[in-house]
Amino acid sequence: MKRNRYLSFSFISALLVALIFLFPLYWMVATSFKLESVTTAWPPQVFPNPITLDNYRTIIGNPVDTPVFQWFLNSAFAAISYTLGSIAVSALAAYALARLRFPGRQFYFWTCIASLVVPGVIFLIPNYITIDTLGWVDRYPALIVPGMATATGMFLLRQFFLSIPSELEDSARIDGAGRFRIFWQIVLPLSKPVVLTYGLMSFLNNWNDYLWALIVTYSSSMRTLPVGLMTLQGRYIHQYGTMMAGAVLTALPALILFLAVQRYFVKGIVLTGIKG
Amino acid sequence: MRKTAVRVLLTLSLVCLLSFSALAAPVVLEYWTIFTGPDGATMQELVDQFNKERAGEIEVRMSIMPGGNFYESILTAVISGRAPDVAIMHMDRLPEFASQGILLELDAYVDELGLVGEDYIEPVWNGGIIDGKRYSIPLDAHPLVMYWNKDIFEAAGLDPEAPPMDRESFIEVTKLLTQDTDGDGVIDQWGTQLSVGWPNFQYWYSILFQNDGELFNEDNTQAIFNNEAGVDALQYLTDLIYVHKVSPANVQVDADVEAFKRGEVAIEFNGIWMLAGYQDHPGLNFGAGMIPQWGTERKAVWAGSHQFIIPRQRSVDRAKVNASLEFIAWIGNHSLEWGRGGQLPAKLSVLNSEEFRSDPHLGSIAEAAPYVAFPHTFFLQYGEATGPAWDAINKAFLGLMTPQEALDEAVELSNRVLKQ
Amino acid sequence: MRAIARPRRSLFGDEGRLTPYLYLLPHAILFFMFVIYPIFKGFWVSLTEWNMFFNEGTFVGFANYARLFNPESIQNAYYWQALKATLLFVVISVPPLVLISLGLAVLVTSNLPWRSFFRTIYFMPTALTISVVAVMWRWIFQGDVGFANWVLRALGGDAIPWLTTQPYAWISILIATIWWTVGWNMILLVSGLNAIPHDQYEAATIDGANSWKSFRYITLPNLRPILLFIVITTVIASFNLFGQPQLMTGGGPSRSTVTVMYYIYGEAFGNFRMGSSAAMSYSTAVIMLVATFAQAKLFSAKDQDS
């Protein structure tokens, strides 16, 4: 009996909390479908009436000032390139550190780990100067290349590779397969869970990045969605319906991706066994 | 023999084709502006008209950036060789960027275009000159404006064409108009609303200058705005909130604009750029004009000014510079349309023209033109050095400090900035 | 019989001496350029007056650092103010972020119907970018017609000027931050909770322990490493607070929500003083490192006690 009461108490609390978590999203979406004159009405309409697409039309229909589609493309291109590049770079390095013997491998591994301790605040200015020197300011490489080699990626992949029994590779070697073929055709496919986890992490990190993208881009056509939304705030600051429409458009791709794959992501976190 | 002839012919035709297309190709100008409000739409219309008239010769591509963005990016853009060809800058930021060496000197070109100082509102014409060299060409002046709700005035038996114009009558009128109209014990109509944040610096600044005060000393090495003139200005404003209670405390930025649109505020102060927004709001019967003389010595009003600048490129492209100048001159000649969008054209001939003056609101606001007050000079750290004043005004409005305390603290911080 | 010659190790190919370095090369080049090199370059910049236009600096020794302590400099006023504001936020944000995430993690790992649904919902906000979060919450906390004030007034109270006065400005930022990031800590704790072997709980129940006791003596100790990780990373994240004050309050009212990151950013990209900004970032880094080590020590000292 007590268990049942406890259970329903938990369930109700969980439900209430869920409603609290969902409400701001609902409010953002609802406001985006309200007429501008109604958004500031008092008392506020809980459900938009009438429902209008005007705000979306304002944002989408203004490709000179608010090239939302361009921003989306920039974000997508940067995030995809970044994710693929980051996986490739980290996987290659992790394989060398896990399987190959060479002088300096411990040194390299621990240097990477040690760098995690360094606070991120100091990287901003020197990396900006490097980007400037390379002539990458306001260009795609600035959004893609800098963060590609991560210590986390190298670590996650190396740990996973180490956990793959070496017998699998050894038998392949005996059959005459070359190193790279083994890496490509055996090790990587087996590493799907961790690659997926790290891939998702990387994608979202790059997609949602705000401060770095803010610093390295300035023209409207190069902006990514998060930064584009912020410039929208300068223009439509009192047009709450329009602002919310912009926010919804910015949030949608990330949310869709998240909902599609979060299950694997959570599984992956468990798999990498962050226990300490 | 024939093969060579054919080759030569082909090459010749290719060259002809290319040079024709080069001749036919219009000069494309990248034009950066900071007009994020309805004035952006007005400028876009002007640009479209220019492009139509000069189709095939000059094509202007306009970008709109929020002010914060623009000032942060213009420097990086020039450095990375991707600066726009022509842009709009606020007059108070000119010294900063002129000193970085990123603006093209325009003295020679101004002569070529036949622009003379007498044609312009004096301070905005002079504002383009820094250290003896001209770096900008004025487009407009945009002052702080008083907007009043004519319906509220009439309902209270006041003359809707005669808003209060001095210190005492302003207090009287706003007291009268601060009411609880539906008898529920809560004041729902305010005489005025003073916002905590933008643009309250401009209210205070106006009173400071009306008191014959200045922000900084002659060589801009000391902040002096905590003197009598400054404290009196700030005290007057905070008294409106806490003593006369004609404005609510804690008005969020632009909440006063929204409230004015809803007809809940009798008198509101904001830039001339708000005009279009109020005109477009259905059912708002309002007047607009010069702000009252709250100060003791003279009439004065805060104003900003938009100025055209041409960034310095790595290599000077004469064709683009010429095209930019033609564009600037054209806009100047069409500044009536620009003014109608909510600005005071810098060109006196336009400002004082029948057409401009006959507009009910703009004509009335144009009365403010002789009284626009700028600091004796803008300088490199003007923005940073006035930052503490903004904070001080907010602190006083929130009742966290007395005006004297707040301004003293601000002057101390401002002096630190000036010492750098 | 063929003589078996000792094979000479080649440079490339499977057992090549250089092969491992080839695998390592892409990562190493990028890591060096954007992680190792900046640590030193940044320090160098902090010792100069850096000219962005020419991409070079004039050496000024420790002047930028000294300025932070010089009571006549503006940086002295604003940097420490920003640091204080940041520390305040760390203190008010870390406990809720850790405790709430712990509570939610326990909730979604218990015998709850629809628990993965709930877990998804609590985790979802982390998929959003800061500008969306800021726009969303700025609207909710809007002083006149925002939802928060509607609820307050409906309950008979007065509207609160959320974003323009303290302490409400911090409270608004705190609420938005918790909503946005608590899911991340929760997921880490979920994985930690799932990893606790069941027999520990079974043994405890046999011994007669109630749920609170098993939580205290089994769950918490097992979670210690993760909790340490979470506390440290949350402190660091709160130290780095930038987007919420920039987009929700603009640093206001009167600079009270200007955090250290916000000020460093403004000094570099608003005032164009990169040398000064770099010096501030290194000073902040030192403070953060000290804080991190102190926490780690504190946790391990506690470990030894229990």
Q: How far is CA C298 from the centre of its chain?
A: 19
Chain B hits for C254, Cβ within 8 Å: 391-392, 394-395, 398, 400
- Please report whether residue B12 resides in a domain: no
Portion of chain A with pLDDT greater than 70, in percent? 95
Is a pLDDT exceeding 80 seen at residue C301?
Answer: no
B72 and A137 within 8 Å at the Cβ level: the answer is: no
Q: Can you give the three-state secondary structure of chain C, one letter per residue?
A: CCCCCCCCCCCCCCCCCCHHHHHHHHHHHHHHHHHHHHHHHHHHHHCEEEECCCCEEEECCCHHHHHHHCCCCHHHHHHHHHHHHHHHHHHHHHHHHHHHHHHHHHHHHCCCCCHHHHHHHHHHHHHCCHHHHHHHHHHHCCCCCCHHHHHHHHCCCCCCCCCCCCCHHHHHHHHHHHHHHHHHHHHHHHHHHHCCCHHHHHHHHHCCCCHHHHHHHHHHHHHHHHHHHHHHHHHHHHHCCCHHHHHHHCCCCCCCCCCHHHHHHHHHHCCCCHHHHHHHHHHHHHHHHHHHHHHHHHHHHHHHHC
Contact B379, B95 (CB under 8 A): yes
- Please report whether residue B133 resides in a domain: yes
Portion of chain C with pLDDT greater than 90, in percent? 58
Chain A hits for C220, Cβ within 8 Å: none
- B257 contact A CB<8A: yes
Query: For residue B7, with 0-12 CB atoms within 10 Å meaning exposed, 13-18 middle and 19 or more buried, which class applies?
Result: exposed
**Total number of domains in chain B:** 2
CA distances from C256 to A24, B91, B141, B231, B400 (A): 26, 29, 33, 23, 12
Give the residue numbers spanning the domain of B224: 144-302+381-419
Residue of B nearest to C55 (CA): B79
Give the amino acid at B95: P
How far apart CA C139 and CA C145 sit, in angstroms, is: 9
Find the CB nearest B197 among C73, C76, C252: C252
pLDDT at C240: 93
Q: Who's near C91: CB < 8 A, 6+ residues apart?
A: none
| B395 three-state secondary structure | helix
Contact B80, A218 (CB under 8 A): no
pLDDT tens profile C105-119: 999 988 888 888 999
C contact chains, 3+ CB pairs < 8 A: A, B
CATH 1.10.3720.10 fits C64-305, yes or no: yes
Is a pLDDT exceeding 70 seen at residue B46?
Answer: yes
**Strand B58-64 relative to strand B27-33, pairing:** parallel
pLDDT tens profile A77-88: 999 999 999 999
What is the Rg, in whole angstroms, of the alpha carbon atoms belonging to chain A?
Answer: 24
CA distances from C83 to B371, C222, C288 (A): 43, 34, 11
| B141 three-state secondary structure | strand
For the beta carbon of residue B131, count every other beta carbon within 10 angstroms.
8
pLDDT higher at A120 or A24: A24
- Best CA proximity match to A215, nearest among B76, C237, C274: B76
Query: Could you give the angle at which helices C74-109 and C274-305 cross, rounded to 10 degrees?
Result: 40
Instruction: Indicate whether B34 and B95 sit together in one domain.
Output: yes
C179 and A21 within 8 Å at the Cβ level: the answer is: yes
pLDDT higher at C60 or C13: C60
pLDDT higher at C7 or A177: A177
Topology given in CATH for the domain delimited by A63-272: MetI-like fold (1.10.3720)
pLDDT tens profile A175-199: 877 888 888 888 888 888 889 889 9
Instruction: Indicate whether B135 and B97 sit together in one domain.
Output: yes
How far apart CA C157 and CA C152 sit, in angstroms, is: 5
Four-CA torsion C54, C59, C62, C67, nearest 10 degrees:
-50
Is a pLDDT exceeding 60 seen at residue A272?
Answer: no
Instruction: Indicate whether B96 and B157 sit together in one domain.
Output: no
Chain B hits for A64, Cβ within 8 Å: 44, 62-64
Tokens read off for B129: 């000159």
Confidence of residue B20 (pLDDT cuts 50, 70, 90): low
- A219 contact B CB<8A: yes
Give the amino acid at B332: G
pLDDT tens profile C133-153: 999 999 999 887 889 999 998
Instruction: Indicate whether B390 and B368 sit together in one domain.
Output: no
| B29 three-state secondary structure | strand
How far apart CA B60 and CA B27 sit, in angstroms, is: 8
Backbone angles phi, psi at B31, to 5 degrees: -125, 115
A250-262 b/e with 16+ CB inside 10 Å = b? bbebbbebbeebb
Ranking A60-64, A203-207, B114-118 by mean pLDDT, the lowest is: A60-64
Average pLDDT of the residues in B58-83:
80
Ranking A211-215, B16-20, B281-285, B366-370 by mean pLDDT, the lowest is: B16-20
Q: Give me the helices (H) in A164-239, please.
A: 166-174, 179-182, 188-190, 192-208, 211-216, 225-236
Query: For residue A1, with 0-12 CB atoms within 10 Å meaning exposed, 13-18 middle and 19 or more buried, which class applies?
Result: exposed
For chain A, what is the largest distance between any 2 Cα atoms, rounded to a whole number of angstroms? Answer: 77
Average pLDDT of the residues in B390-396:
95
- Please report whether residue B14 resides in a domain: no
Q: Where do you find CATH 1.10.3720.10 in chain C? A: 64-305
- Please report whether residue B127 resides in a domain: yes
Is a pLDDT exceeding 80 seen at residue A2?
Answer: no
pLDDT at B68: 67
How far apart CA A107 and CA A121 sit, in angstroms, is: 25
Specify which residues B311 forms β-bridges with.
Answer: B103
Is a pLDDT exceeding 70 seen at residue A24?
Answer: yes
pLDDT at A274: 46
| B397 three-state secondary structure | helix
**Smallest Cα distance from C72 to chain A, Å:** 25
Confidence of residue B270 (pLDDT cuts 50, 70, 90): very high
CATH number for B283? 3.40.190.10
Contact C27, A89 (CB under 8 A): yes
Instruction: Indicate whether B134 and B204 sit together in one domain.
Output: no
Label residue C40 left, alpha or beta by phi (over 0 means left) and psi (-120 to 50 means alpha).
alpha
Contact C111, C303 (CB under 8 A): no
- Please report whether residue B102 resides in a domain: yes
pLDDT at A265: 76
- C165 contact B CB<8A: yes
- Please report whether residue B13 resides in a domain: no
The overall average pLDDT reported for chain B is 90
**Smallest Cα distance from C1 to chain A, Å:** 24
Is a pLDDT exceeding 60 seen at residue A243?
Answer: yes
How far apart CA B190 and CA B266 sit, in angstroms, is: 6
Vertex C258 angle, CA C255 and C262, to 5°: 140
Confidence of residue A276 (pLDDT cuts 50, 70, 90): very low
**Smallest Cα distance from A79 to chain C, Å:** 13
- Best CA proximity match to B203, nearest among B305, B294, B266: B294
Tokens read off for B143: 């002052």
Confidence of residue A40 (pLDDT cuts 50, 70, 90): confident
Query: Could you give the angle at which helices C130-140 and A240-271 cross, rounded to 10 degrees?
Result: 130
Residue in the block written with tokens 């213009």: B74
Tokens read off for C264: 């460093």
pLDDT tens profile B77-134: 887 778 899 999 999 999 988 988 889 999 988 888 888 888 999 999 999 999 889 9
